[in-house]
Amino acid sequence: MSSNLHPMLNVAIKAARAAGAIINRAALDVEAVRISQKQVNDFVTEVDHAAEQVIIDTLLTAYPGHAILAEESGSERGAKHSDYCWIIDPLDGTTNFIHGFPVYCVSIALAYQDKIEHAVIYDPTRNDLFTATRGRGAFMNERRIRVSKRTQLKDCLISTGFPFRPGDHFKNYMAIMADIMPRTAGLRRPGSAALDLAYVAAGFSDGFFETGLSIWDVAAGSLLVTEAGGLIGNYTGEADFLEQKECLAAAPRIYGQLVPLLSKYSKFASAGEKATLRQDAPSAGE
Protein backbone atom coordinates (compact mmCIF):
# COMPACT_ATOMS: atom_id res chain seq x y z
CA MET A 1 0.00 0.00 0.00
CA SER A 2 2.84 2.43 0.85
CA SER A 3 3.68 3.00 -2.80
CA ASN A 4 0.38 4.73 -3.56
CA LEU A 5 0.20 6.82 -0.38
CA HIS A 6 -0.17 10.53 -0.92
CA PRO A 7 3.29 12.18 -0.58
CA MET A 8 1.98 14.51 2.15
CA LEU A 9 0.75 11.52 4.16
CA ASN A 10 4.15 9.85 3.72
CA VAL A 11 5.89 12.91 5.17
CA ALA A 12 3.45 12.93 8.10
CA ILE A 13 4.17 9.23 8.77
CA LYS A 14 7.91 9.91 8.74
CA ALA A 15 7.38 12.81 11.20
CA ALA A 16 5.18 10.71 13.51
CA ARG A 17 7.66 7.82 13.61
CA ALA A 18 10.55 10.20 14.36
CA ALA A 19 8.55 11.70 17.25
CA GLY A 20 7.63 8.20 18.44
CA ALA A 21 11.33 7.25 18.59
CA ILE A 22 12.01 10.28 20.83
CA ILE A 23 9.05 9.36 23.07
CA ASN A 24 10.12 5.70 23.33
CA ARG A 25 13.66 6.70 24.30
CA ALA A 26 12.30 9.12 26.90
CA ALA A 27 9.97 6.44 28.31
CA LEU A 28 13.08 4.51 29.38
CA ASP A 29 14.27 7.53 31.38
CA VAL A 30 11.01 8.66 32.95
CA GLU A 31 11.53 6.30 35.95
CA ALA A 32 14.88 7.88 36.78
CA VAL A 33 13.40 11.39 36.72
CA ARG A 34 10.66 10.73 39.25
CA ILE A 35 12.29 12.52 42.17
CA SER A 36 10.03 15.54 42.32
CA GLN A 37 6.86 16.55 40.53
CA LYS A 38 8.59 19.65 39.17
CA GLN A 39 11.36 17.56 37.61
CA VAL A 40 8.76 15.23 36.08
CA ASN A 41 6.85 18.19 34.63
CA ASP A 42 10.02 19.73 33.21
CA PHE A 43 11.02 16.36 31.73
CA VAL A 44 7.64 15.84 30.04
CA THR A 45 7.73 19.40 28.70
CA GLU A 46 11.16 18.64 27.23
CA VAL A 47 9.90 15.42 25.62
CA ASP A 48 6.84 17.25 24.27
CA HIS A 49 9.01 20.01 22.80
CA ALA A 50 11.57 17.62 21.32
CA ALA A 51 8.84 15.48 19.71
CA GLU A 52 7.08 18.57 18.38
CA GLN A 53 10.36 20.00 17.07
CA VAL A 54 11.18 16.89 15.03
CA ILE A 55 7.63 16.82 13.62
CA ILE A 56 7.70 20.49 12.61
CA ASP A 57 11.22 20.21 11.14
CA THR A 58 10.22 17.17 9.08
CA LEU A 59 7.03 18.82 7.79
CA LEU A 60 8.55 22.23 7.04
CA THR A 61 11.58 20.71 5.34
CA ALA A 62 9.19 19.05 2.89
CA TYR A 63 6.60 21.86 2.78
CA PRO A 64 8.15 25.17 3.85
CA GLY A 65 5.08 27.10 2.65
CA HIS A 66 2.67 25.33 5.01
CA ALA A 67 1.28 26.65 8.31
CA ILE A 68 1.62 24.85 11.65
CA LEU A 69 -0.84 24.68 14.55
CA ALA A 70 0.80 22.78 17.39
CA GLU A 71 -0.15 22.26 21.02
CA GLU A 72 3.20 23.21 22.52
CA SER A 73 4.37 26.10 20.35
CA GLY A 74 1.09 27.58 19.18
CA SER A 75 1.24 28.61 15.53
CA GLU A 76 4.68 30.15 15.67
CA ARG A 77 6.20 28.19 12.83
CA GLY A 78 5.64 27.98 9.10
CA ALA A 79 3.73 30.33 6.84
CA LYS A 80 0.95 32.27 8.53
CA HIS A 81 -1.62 32.43 5.73
CA SER A 82 -1.22 29.14 3.88
CA ASP A 83 -4.27 27.13 2.76
CA TYR A 84 -2.41 24.14 4.20
CA CYS A 85 -2.20 23.84 7.98
CA TRP A 86 -0.64 20.98 9.93
CA ILE A 87 -2.38 20.35 13.26
CA ILE A 88 -0.08 18.57 15.70
CA ASP A 89 -0.24 17.00 19.14
CA PRO A 90 3.26 15.59 19.76
CA LEU A 91 2.29 13.55 22.84
CA ASP A 92 -1.40 13.02 23.60
CA GLY A 93 -1.75 11.30 26.97
CA THR A 94 1.09 12.91 28.94
CA THR A 95 -0.29 11.85 32.34
CA ASN A 96 -0.27 8.23 31.17
CA PHE A 97 3.27 8.70 29.83
CA ILE A 98 4.52 10.08 33.18
CA HIS A 99 3.20 7.01 34.98
CA GLY A 100 4.44 4.49 32.44
CA PHE A 101 0.84 3.60 31.57
CA PRO A 102 1.30 2.69 27.89
CA VAL A 103 -1.60 4.60 26.32
CA TYR A 104 -0.39 7.71 24.51
CA CYS A 105 0.26 8.72 20.93
CA VAL A 106 1.45 11.22 18.36
CA SER A 107 -1.30 12.94 16.36
CA ILE A 108 -0.74 14.79 13.06
CA ALA A 109 -3.41 16.10 10.68
CA LEU A 110 -3.24 18.24 7.56
CA ALA A 111 -6.09 20.65 6.88
CA TYR A 112 -6.56 22.24 3.47
CA GLN A 113 -8.83 25.29 3.59
CA ASP A 114 -10.05 24.15 7.03
CA LYS A 115 -10.99 20.60 5.96
CA ILE A 116 -8.92 17.70 7.29
CA GLU A 117 -7.35 15.89 4.30
CA HIS A 118 -4.71 13.60 5.86
CA ALA A 119 -4.36 12.04 9.31
CA VAL A 120 -1.73 10.04 11.18
CA ILE A 121 -2.00 8.71 14.72
CA TYR A 122 1.01 6.74 15.90
CA ASP A 123 1.11 4.69 19.10
CA PRO A 124 4.83 4.28 19.87
CA THR A 125 4.43 1.66 22.62
CA ARG A 126 2.60 -0.78 20.32
CA ASN A 127 4.10 0.47 17.05
CA ASP A 128 0.53 0.91 15.73
CA LEU A 129 0.19 3.35 12.83
CA PHE A 130 -3.27 4.66 11.96
CA THR A 131 -3.57 6.66 8.72
CA ALA A 132 -6.29 8.20 6.58
CA THR A 133 -6.60 10.34 3.49
CA ARG A 134 -9.94 11.96 2.64
CA GLY A 135 -11.83 9.69 0.24
CA ARG A 136 -9.25 6.87 0.44
CA GLY A 137 -10.32 5.05 3.61
CA ALA A 138 -8.66 4.52 6.99
CA PHE A 139 -5.87 2.07 7.75
CA MET A 140 -4.09 0.52 10.71
CA ASN A 141 -0.63 -0.82 9.90
CA GLU A 142 -1.59 -0.76 6.20
CA ARG A 143 -4.75 -2.83 6.69
CA ARG A 144 -8.13 -1.24 6.01
CA ILE A 145 -10.16 -0.55 9.16
CA ARG A 146 -13.91 -0.08 9.65
CA VAL A 147 -15.99 1.04 12.62
CA SER A 148 -17.76 -1.66 14.61
CA LYS A 149 -20.87 -3.39 13.28
CA ARG A 150 -22.67 -3.56 16.63
CA THR A 151 -26.19 -2.17 16.49
CA GLN A 152 -27.34 -2.13 20.13
CA LEU A 153 -25.91 0.18 22.75
CA LYS A 154 -26.23 -2.52 25.44
CA ASP A 155 -23.56 -4.59 23.62
CA CYS A 156 -21.18 -1.67 23.18
CA LEU A 157 -17.92 -0.64 24.75
CA ILE A 158 -17.82 3.18 24.93
CA SER A 159 -14.76 5.23 25.82
CA THR A 160 -14.67 8.69 27.36
CA GLY A 161 -12.43 11.14 29.17
CA PHE A 162 -13.03 12.59 32.62
CA PRO A 163 -12.88 16.31 33.35
CA PHE A 164 -9.72 17.05 35.33
CA ARG A 165 -9.53 20.85 35.57
CA PRO A 166 -11.35 22.91 38.20
CA GLY A 167 -14.61 24.23 36.76
CA ASP A 168 -15.06 21.25 34.42
CA HIS A 169 -18.63 20.59 35.68
CA PHE A 170 -17.76 17.35 37.40
CA LYS A 171 -21.32 16.88 38.68
CA ASN A 172 -22.64 17.13 35.14
CA TYR A 173 -20.13 14.45 34.13
CA MET A 174 -21.20 12.13 36.94
CA ALA A 175 -24.78 12.49 35.69
CA ILE A 176 -23.69 11.60 32.14
CA MET A 177 -21.87 8.52 33.41
CA ALA A 178 -24.87 7.45 35.49
CA ASP A 179 -26.98 7.78 32.32
CA ILE A 180 -24.63 5.95 29.96
CA MET A 181 -22.98 3.22 32.07
CA PRO A 182 -26.05 1.04 32.73
CA ARG A 183 -27.01 1.22 29.04
CA THR A 184 -23.70 -0.16 27.72
CA ALA A 185 -21.47 -3.22 28.06
CA GLY A 186 -18.82 -0.97 29.61
CA LEU A 187 -17.41 2.52 29.86
CA ARG A 188 -13.64 2.99 29.50
CA ARG A 189 -11.34 5.93 30.15
CA PRO A 190 -7.98 5.19 28.46
CA GLY A 191 -6.59 8.73 28.73
CA SER A 192 -5.64 9.70 25.18
CA ALA A 193 -8.47 11.20 23.13
CA ALA A 194 -6.60 10.86 19.82
CA LEU A 195 -6.04 7.14 20.41
CA ASP A 196 -9.65 6.75 21.59
CA LEU A 197 -10.79 8.08 18.19
CA ALA A 198 -8.38 5.76 16.34
CA TYR A 199 -9.87 2.85 18.33
CA VAL A 200 -13.41 3.85 17.31
CA ALA A 201 -12.21 3.90 13.67
CA ALA A 202 -10.67 0.43 14.09
CA GLY A 203 -13.79 -0.96 15.78
CA PHE A 204 -11.95 -1.69 19.06
CA SER A 205 -14.54 0.44 20.82
CA ASP A 206 -18.00 1.31 19.57
CA GLY A 207 -18.05 4.99 20.50
CA PHE A 208 -16.28 7.83 22.29
CA PHE A 209 -17.39 11.10 23.86
CA GLU A 210 -15.58 13.87 25.74
CA THR A 211 -15.86 17.58 26.44
CA GLY A 212 -13.09 20.17 26.73
CA LEU A 213 -10.97 18.80 23.88
CA SER A 214 -8.82 21.07 21.71
CA ILE A 215 -8.56 20.89 17.93
CA TRP A 216 -5.19 19.08 18.03
CA ASP A 217 -6.75 16.31 20.18
CA VAL A 218 -9.42 15.51 17.59
CA ALA A 219 -8.27 16.71 14.14
CA ALA A 220 -6.52 13.51 12.98
CA GLY A 221 -8.92 11.15 14.78
CA SER A 222 -11.96 12.80 13.20
CA LEU A 223 -10.79 11.88 9.68
CA LEU A 224 -9.92 8.32 10.76
CA VAL A 225 -13.46 7.90 12.12
CA THR A 226 -15.27 9.25 9.05
CA GLU A 227 -13.01 7.37 6.61
CA ALA A 228 -13.72 4.18 8.58
CA GLY A 229 -17.46 4.72 8.10
CA GLY A 230 -18.23 6.33 11.45
CA LEU A 231 -19.86 9.61 12.43
CA ILE A 232 -18.37 12.41 14.50
CA GLY A 233 -19.87 15.63 15.81
CA ASN A 234 -20.90 17.44 18.96
CA TYR A 235 -23.29 15.99 21.56
CA THR A 236 -26.34 17.21 19.62
CA GLY A 237 -25.08 15.37 16.54
CA GLU A 238 -23.98 18.42 14.52
CA ALA A 239 -20.95 17.72 12.35
CA ASP A 240 -19.27 21.11 12.75
CA PHE A 241 -17.59 20.26 16.06
CA LEU A 242 -13.83 20.79 15.64
CA GLU A 243 -13.63 24.10 17.55
CA GLN A 244 -16.50 23.36 19.95
CA LYS A 245 -14.66 21.43 22.68
CA GLU A 246 -17.37 18.75 22.58
CA CYS A 247 -16.91 15.50 20.69
CA LEU A 248 -18.98 12.37 20.06
CA ALA A 249 -17.80 9.66 17.64
CA ALA A 250 -19.28 6.24 16.94
CA ALA A 251 -20.46 3.75 14.36
CA PRO A 252 -23.61 5.28 12.74
CA ARG A 253 -26.22 3.09 14.47
CA ILE A 254 -24.61 3.67 17.87
CA TYR A 255 -24.09 7.40 17.24
CA GLY A 256 -27.84 7.61 16.68
CA GLN A 257 -28.46 6.06 20.10
CA LEU A 258 -25.88 8.20 21.93
CA VAL A 259 -27.06 11.58 20.59
CA PRO A 260 -30.43 11.49 22.46
CA LEU A 261 -28.59 10.54 25.67
CA LEU A 262 -25.84 13.15 25.38
CA SER A 263 -27.62 16.03 23.67
CA LYS A 264 -29.30 17.23 26.86
CA TYR A 265 -25.83 17.67 28.40
CA SER A 266 -24.61 19.68 25.42
CA LYS A 267 -23.83 23.36 25.74
CA PHE A 268 -25.61 23.62 22.37
CA ALA A 269 -28.80 22.00 23.66
CA SER A 270 -32.06 23.94 23.53
CA ALA A 271 -33.70 25.16 26.74
CA GLY A 272 -36.31 22.40 26.30
CA GLU A 273 -33.67 19.68 26.33
CA LYS A 274 -32.05 21.17 29.44
CA ALA A 275 -35.45 21.21 31.19
CA THR A 276 -35.85 17.51 30.37
CA LEU A 277 -32.45 16.91 31.93
CA ARG A 278 -33.57 18.58 35.15
CA GLN A 279 -36.65 16.33 35.33
CA ASP A 280 -34.62 13.19 34.59
CA ALA A 281 -31.82 13.88 37.03
CA PRO A 282 -32.82 16.34 39.72
CA SER A 283 -29.36 16.33 41.29
CA ALA A 284 -27.48 17.08 38.06
CA GLY A 285 -27.89 20.84 38.33
CA GLU A 286 -26.90 21.17 42.01
In whole angstroms, how large is the CA radius of gyration of the chain?
A: 19
- Looking at the structure, tell me whether residues 255 and 124 fall in a common domain: no
CATH code: domain of residue 172:
3.40.190.80
- Looking at the structure, tell me whether residues 168 and 133 fall in a common domain: no
pLDDT, position 4: 77
- Looking at the structure, tell me whether residues 136 and 202 fall in a common domain: no
pLDDT, position 268: 80
In a domain, 285, yes or no: no
- Looking at the structure, tell me whether residues 196 and 215 fall in a common domain: yes
Domain count, the chain: 2
Q: Do the beta carbons of residue 89 and residue 194 sit within 8 Å?
A: yes
- Looking at the structure, tell me whether residues 200 and 89 fall in a common domain: no
pLDDT, position 71: 78
Enumerate the H helices of the chain as residue ranges.
Answer: 7-33, 37-62, 94-99, 170-180, 193-202, 215-227, 252-262, 271-280
Residue 198 makes CB contacts below 8 A (sequence gap 6+) with 105, 121, 123, 128, 130, 140, 221, 224
Final residue before a domain boundary, out of 145, 162, 181: 145
In a domain, 269, yes or no: yes
Final residue before a domain boundary, out of 102, 117, 145: 145
Render pLDDT for 157-188 as a digit per residue (tens, 0 to 9).
999 998 766 665 788 888 999 999 999 999 99
- Looking at the structure, tell me whether residues 186 and 261 fall in a common domain: yes
Nearest partner of 248 among 175, 150, 176, judged by Cα: 176
Residue 22 makes CB contacts below 8 A (sequence gap 6+) with 47, 50, 51, 54
pLDDT, position 277: 53
Domain with 125, as residue range(s), is: 2-145
pTM of the model: 0.91
In a domain, 42, yes or no: yes
- Looking at the structure, tell me whether residues 79 and 161 fall in a common domain: no
pLDDT, position 272: 57
Final residue before a domain boundary, out of 99, 125, 145: 145
- Looking at the structure, tell me whether residues 166 and 120 fall in a common domain: no
pLDDT along the chain (286 residues), means of 10: 80 98 93 76 92 97 95 68 95 93 97 97 98 98 98 98 72 90 96 98 98 94 98 93 90 97 86 55 37
Residues 151 and 154: their CA atoms lie apart, in Å, by: 9
